[in-house]
Structure formats: C-alpha cells, structure tokens
Structure 1
Amino acid sequence: MADVIKDVPITSVVVEALVVMKIVKHGSSNFPTIATGSIVGMDRNGVLEITNSFHFPTVETSADSSSSHQNDASALAVAAPRQKANIAYQNEMIRHLKEVNVDANNVGWYTSATMGNFVNLGFIENQYHYQKDNEKTVAVVHDVSRTSQGSLSLRAFKLTPAFMAAYKEGKFTTESLQKSKLTFRDILQEFPVTVHNTHLLTTFLHQLPQAPQPDTLEPPTSISELKDDPSRQPLYPSVDNLDLSIDPFLEKTCDLLLDSIDAHYNEVNNYQFYQRQLGREQAKISQWQAKRKAENAQRTLAKQQLLPEDEWQRLFKLPQEPSRLEGMLNAKQVEQYSKQVDGFTANISAKMFAVRENLLPKHA
C-alpha cells in the first residue's frame, strides 16, 4: 500500500501562510535582485505540502553598486541552489529541523521574479538539479511586481518528464526535437497553489470584530457627534475601478515582450547563418568528392593506385548546429508575457468599450 501511495503524482501544492510571508519578505527585501531559497515539507496523496522555508546565503554588495553589480548579485542568487556551499548549508538546516521534529523533507526551491520574467537557463538548471534526485520537487515562483500591487502572485512549476529526458541527453538539435516532438509547451508543468492557514490563525480571524451592519448604522445627529465618533462615518464606494489610465504593468510587460521577440529573431538569424555555413561546406565537399572521383577514374585508366575518397572528413569540418534550447526557453517566456498581457487587457478593454458606448451618438 505504501508503494502505491508513493507513486501518486503531484496534483496540487499547498503552502503554509508563514511560508508565504517568508518568501514575500525575502523577495521584497532583495528587490530588484533575485532571491532564492529552499522549501521543505511533505507529499501526501499527491498533494505537496510546503510547511517551511529558508533562504540561501548570498554575497552582499556595497550600497553604491551599479546596475552591473546588481546583475552580478542576481547571477549569484540564481546559481545559489546549485553551489556546493549552499547544498551543504541546506543539508545542515534540514538536519537541525529534524532535531526539533519539524517536516524536513526537501521538496524544492523558490525564487523571486519581476513581471513574470523567470523562464531562463538558470531556472531550468536549478529545477533539474532538484528533480533529477527527487521527482516530487517543485519550483515556487513569487512575482514581486504583481504582489506589490495587492495581488499575491505565487506559482509552482516542475519540468515535464519529456523535457527531463531531453535535458539529460543534452541534445537539442532539430533532428532530436523532431523525433521526440518536444515543443516549448512541454517544458514546464504548472500546479494549482493553495495557501493554508493554521487552525489557531483561522480561529483568530473568525474572532475579529465584524463591521457594523448597514441597517443598524444610524446617521449622526450633529457635527460634534460626528467628530467624537469618526467610525460612524458611512463608507464611500471606491472609484479606482473607474480609472481609464493604462496599467503601467501592461506597458512594462509589452516592452519585455518586444525584447523577447527580438531575442527570438536573433536566435532565428543565428540558425539561418548556421544553415548557410553548412550549405557552403557541403558544396565544397561535393566539389572535392567529384574532383577525387575524376582523379580516380584517370588513375584507373593509367592502372595506378586509387586515392581514398573519404579523406574529406579530415580536410573539411562541418559547423556544429547551435542548441535550440535557448530558442525554446525564449518562446516559453513569450508565452508567459502574452498571457500576462491578455490578463491586463481584459479589464482595460471592458472599460474602453463602456466609454465608447456612452460617447458615441445613439442611432434611432
């Protein structure tokens, strides 16, 4: 029976509220530098429960550091889950957690992101580092930009089995991708995330005083009474939803989307350059083979020893096909940006259509 439960795949992720607060605090304190850390918990019947977390130690930068230093700090934070020192630190922390009888099973790692920009080679290497040893590990991505606007953004991902096999083999050529039928949609698998509160916190929330009911709220009889008891003032409806300005996050996401599209065209140009270079080398090889066959034909008539026809392998070197992994990751990132743009434009489009209906003259 235990073996059957062990083989149940992950279907959802449950994160404790304390873990959410730790991740949010770590990500916001390190912003705009990427923050990474380890998460521990347990798997129960396909539900991955994350009960604790701790961040990886990173090298602190000076206060007057430039943007290049921030990029260096982000690079160090991205590589932190794979560093030997941090692996030893993680094992030591898990050992201490076991001593105090806390869930101490490593179930993955977490990282912060900005505007959904997290699909890169470092993210893939980190998740592969965890998932190759334990299939039931996830990467929790916390978007600091979205959370700062009052909407918690917490997502859980893992690599698909097909991508794990391809990454282990290390071949991302056109031929291998055609055989495996691997596309950018098959890189990551996302799981629904649920935030869980403890029973003590839930009880505390239920004991909070409720707002007064509208039917029992009596209007003040004088100005002095209103000043003495400001809580009796009626609540006014929010007019923020009537704002027609374009969401600044939409503009930033569109800029990042354009950058990703430019990177995609650069990858396409590199591959086209490889194809042109390969075509030139193959044309040279064909000319050399035709010339060698003609020489051997003359040598046959002259009854001389024939020259080897496979000597072209030593004389010519075919260019190596560039890896298509970067292009696949870039296409996946473009998909992430497109989904964000679609989510941003839903509310804005509804407002614009509503304004348009009121401004245009009505036809009889």
Structure 2
Amino acid sequence: MADILKDSPIKAVQVEALVVMKLVNHAAKTFPTVSTGALVGMESSKQPGLLEITSCFPFPTIDVPTTDSHQQDSAANIAAAAPRAKANVAYQNEMIKFLREVNVDANNVGWYTSASMGNFVNMNTIENQFFYQKEPNERTVALVHDVSRSSQGSLSLRAYRLSPAFITAFKESKFTTESLQKSGLRYQDILVDIPVTVHNSHLLTSLLHQLPSDAPKEELSFPPNLAALQQDPNTPQPPFFPNYDSLDLAIDPFLEKTCDLLLESIENHHTELNNHSYYQRSLAREQTKITAWQQKRKAENAARTASKQPLLPEDEWQRLFKLPQEPSRLETMLNSRQVEQYARQVDQFTAGISTKMFAVKSNLLPGE
C-alpha cells in the first residue's frame, strides 16, 4: 500500500468539520438509499500532496416510484451513478460557478458517497471515480462514509483513489487472464487508501474548549469525603473504573450482518470462478475439434499431393470454428476486494467478542 500511495499525487486528505457534518447529515436523511455529492476544495500550497476539502453539496435526487423491487433497484442504481450523470455534471459546474462568485474555493476535488456495512466496492464506485480521475492533472478523491459503522459510535470516513495500474487497464478494458499476468495487477491494487484528517478552524477549536457544561437537573448526592469534594469534576475516572457494559455477552449485530455479507460475497466469487471454469472447458473442447480438423485436413492434403491435386487451405478452421470469448475478470477482482473489506471489518470486531467467549467457555460448554 505504501508503494501505491507513493505513486499517487495525493498523499493525504484534510476535511473541514463542516463538510463532515453536511456529509453525515445527507447520508442519514437518505439512508438506506445511497447518497452522493460533489466535493470542493484545493491542493495545499504549503504542503504538496495535501488535498484540502472545504465545502460540499449534494447531487439532486430523482424520484422514482418504488412499487416493486425492480424499481427500487433502479432507483438505487440511479442514485449511485449520479456523479457521472450528464445532468449532474451541468449542475455541478453551475454550483461551482456560484461558489466562485461568493469567494469560496471553487475547485472540484472529487465526490462523496454513503455506504452500508462497507458495501461500496462495486462498478458504480469504480466508474464514478474513473470519470473524475481520467482528466489530466486531476486532484480528486472519493470520500466514503459508512453509515452503519458510524452508528456504532465512531466516525467511518475513508478516502480512496484508483491506482495508476488499474486506470491503465480500465481504459483499455483488458481484464483477461493473460493481460493481468503481464501487468501483475491484483485486487489489492484497485483502490488506494488515502489518510484522512478532520480539521477545525482556530475559532471553532477555542469555542469547543469554552463551551460550558449543562447544569445538572437532578439532586446531587453528598460527597463521601473531603478528597471527593476537592476533586475536579472534569477529571476523568481512573482507567480501571468498572464498566459493566463490556461484560455483555451478546454478539454485535453489526458483526452478524457483516458475516452474512461476507458469505454472500464469497458465493458470488465462486459463481464467477465457475463461469471462468466453464469458459476453460468450452475452449478446450473447441481446441480439440480444431486440432482434429487440422489433422484431417493435413491427411487430405497429403493424399492430394500424392494424386497431384490442388491443396485445400489449412486456415479454414477460423471460419468454421468460433472460439468462446473469455469473460472479464473485473467482477472477480471487485468481489475479491469486497471480500477483503468485509474480512477487515470482521477482524476488527471479533477481538473483544472472542475474549469474552473464551472467558465464559466453561459455562457455555459445561461438559468440557
């Protein structure tokens, strides 16, 4: 990952806190539908390679009747493909023109999207980022906000770019086995993870430090001793202060859902492998037929040579036989990258749960 990041013109992303609040608010309002929008900012002049995102605005939504599942899927696809739609490109240019008039950073630096359970590695994400990244001298990123992960208590905001090797392969639409072996492109090389930091202005930071806490509404208990009375109420509790919530043995529902999605992605991956195996079997059958035909034609030509007759062409097999076309391996690569994303999420959540399960193992399995 460090080698891929070294080739990227953007080494880090700095997002203003106001942009984060707008993005989170937009994603929460449209959940579970995907929310997308444009990012505005500029590259830092003091620190080359640092992309500063100072503003954002959502793309307009298209109301589609949701009477059945097919129309719901079409509405989701329209929302996910909004960043590269022609109408939204014109809308984005118009908005940037208005922002320039009010002295706001008016450089397009990418787009943002919401995700659920880390499910964002798909063709819509790839095509949207390729639409932004194909321009010369571009400085664009894709911000991904995971709504489900953020609901667990920690903000999930990641920035991604397509790697140069994947951009080259995507332009040529060459995702065959031979081309992937020559280029050495792997599923780990599709997306480049860019470090993200949230930035607050100095005025906002000073305001946060000066915000007074609300006065308690319930009756306060008397301090047990003089030391407790003299202790600063803002002093945090010692690290070994008992927290009984951590003893809850219930498995996190986020982990359960992530495991279900992981199994589904693995099944899709096996389906793609079966399709490729069917292609290989079909290719082997056709090549066997071609070999038999060529041997037969050579024998005929040998007999014709002996009888001094004109020879028959030996390249007619190209007209008589049609080799099957190899399916693109792009879907397989995206599936593999999505499986890796789910596996990382499972790994982050299983550490604490596994510890509690081992602690109470004797109670769960009394026979052992």
TM bracket (short chain): 0.7 to 0.9
Q: Within 5 A, what are the aligned runs for 1:181-192? A: 181-192=184-195
CA shift at 1:302, angstroms?
1.0
| Aligned residue number for residue 336 of structure 2 | 331
Please give the secondary structure, in 1, of the residue aligned with 2:291: helix
Equivalent AA in structure 1 for residue 306 of structure 2: L
Shift of 1:218: 7.3
Identity %: 67
Cα offsets for 1:309-329 (capped at 9, x unmatched): 011111111000000000000
- What is the deviation of 1:261? 0.4
Q: What letter corresponds to residue 275 of structure 2 in structure 1?
A: N
Letter in 1 for 2:40: V
Given candidates 106, 109, 128, the residue that maps to 1:107 is: 109
Contact 2:8–2:163 (CA under 8 A) maintained in structure 1:
no
CA distance in 2 between counterparts of 1:22 and 1:69 reads 28
Conserved? CA contact 1:33–1:71, under 8 Å: no
Residue number in structure 1 paired with 2:3: none
The yes-or-no answer on 1:132 pairing with 2:137 is no
1:309 aligns with 2:314: yes
Structure-to-structure mapping, 1:71-220, within 5 angstroms: 71-133=73-135, 134-209=137-212, 219=222
Counterpart of 2:32 in 1: which secondary structure? coil
The offset of 1:238, in angstroms, is: 4.8
- Equivalent residue for 2:356? 351
Q: Which runs of 4+ in 1 moved over 6 A?
A: 357-361
In structure 2, the residue corresponding to 1:48 is in which secondary structure?
strand
Give the partner amino acid of 1:128: F
Deviations 1:204-262 (A, max 9, x none): 111022699xxxx97179xxxxxxxxx9xxx9965322211000011000000000000
AA aligned opposite 1:104: A
2:312 is paired with a residue of what secondary structure? coil
Aligned equivalents of 1:274, 1:28: Cα separation in 2: 44
CA-CA distance at 1:150 after TM superposition:
1.9
Contact kept? 2:9, 2:49, Cα under 8 Å: yes
Q: What runs of 5+ residues in structure 2 fail to find an aligned partner? A: 1-6, 225-232
Is 1:263 matched with 2:268?
yes
Contact 1:116 1:337 in 2 (8 A): yes
Q: 1:13·1:193 contact (CA, 8 Å) conserved in 2? A: yes
TM-fit CA distance, 1:358? 9.3
Paired amino acid for 1:57: P
CA distance in 1, matches of 2:53, 2:76: 25
1:318 aligns with 2:320: no
C-alpha RMSD of the superposition: 2.4
Number of the residue aligned with 1:253 = 258
TM-aligned CA deviation for residue 357 of structure 1: 8.2
Instruction: Give 3-state SS (helix, strand or coil) of 1:152's partner.
Output: coil
Q: Are the structure 2 counterparts of residues 36 and 359 from structure 1 closer, same or farther at C-alpha, using a change threshold of 3 Å? A: closer
Given that 2:43 and 2:51 are in contact with CA atoms closer than 8 Å, whether structure 1 keeps it comes out as yes
Q: Could you tell me whether the CA contact under 8 Å between 1:41 and 1:106 is conserved in 2?
A: yes
Is the partner of 1:117 in helix, strand or coil? coil
Q: Secondary structure of 2:25's partner? A: helix
Q: Distance in 2 between matches of 1:128 and 1:162?
A: 12
| Equivalence for 1:12 | 12
Measured in 2, the distance between the counterparts of 1:267 and 1:18 equals 42
SS at match of 1:254: helix
Cα distance in 2, alignment partners of residues 61 and 170 from structure 1: 32
Partner Cα distance (1:136, 1:347) in 2: 39
Post-superposition offset of 1:16: 0.7
Distance 1:142 1:8, change over 3 A: closer
Report if the CA contact (8 A) 2:16-2:198 is conserved.
Answer: yes
Q: What CA distance in whole angstroms lies between the structure 2 residues aligned with 1:79 and 1:350?
A: 42
Instruction: State whether residues 161 and 193 of structure 2, in contact with CA within 8 Å, keep that contact through their aligned partners in structure 1.
Output: yes
**How far apart, in 2, do the equivalents of 1:202 and 1:65 lie?**
48
**Candidates 242, 245, 251, aligned match of 2:247:** 242
What's the TM-score once normalised by structure 2's chain length? 0.87
- The whole-number CA distance in structure 1 between the counterparts of 2:247 and 2:214 is 25
Q: Which residue of 1 aligns with 2:230?
A: none
In the TM superposition, what is the alpha-carbon distance from 1:184 to its structure 2 partner? Answer: 0.3
Query: How many residues align structurally?
Result: 338
Tell me the CA shift for residue 185 of structure 1.
0.6
CA distance in 2, matches of 1:89, 1:35: 16
Aligned AA for 2:120? F
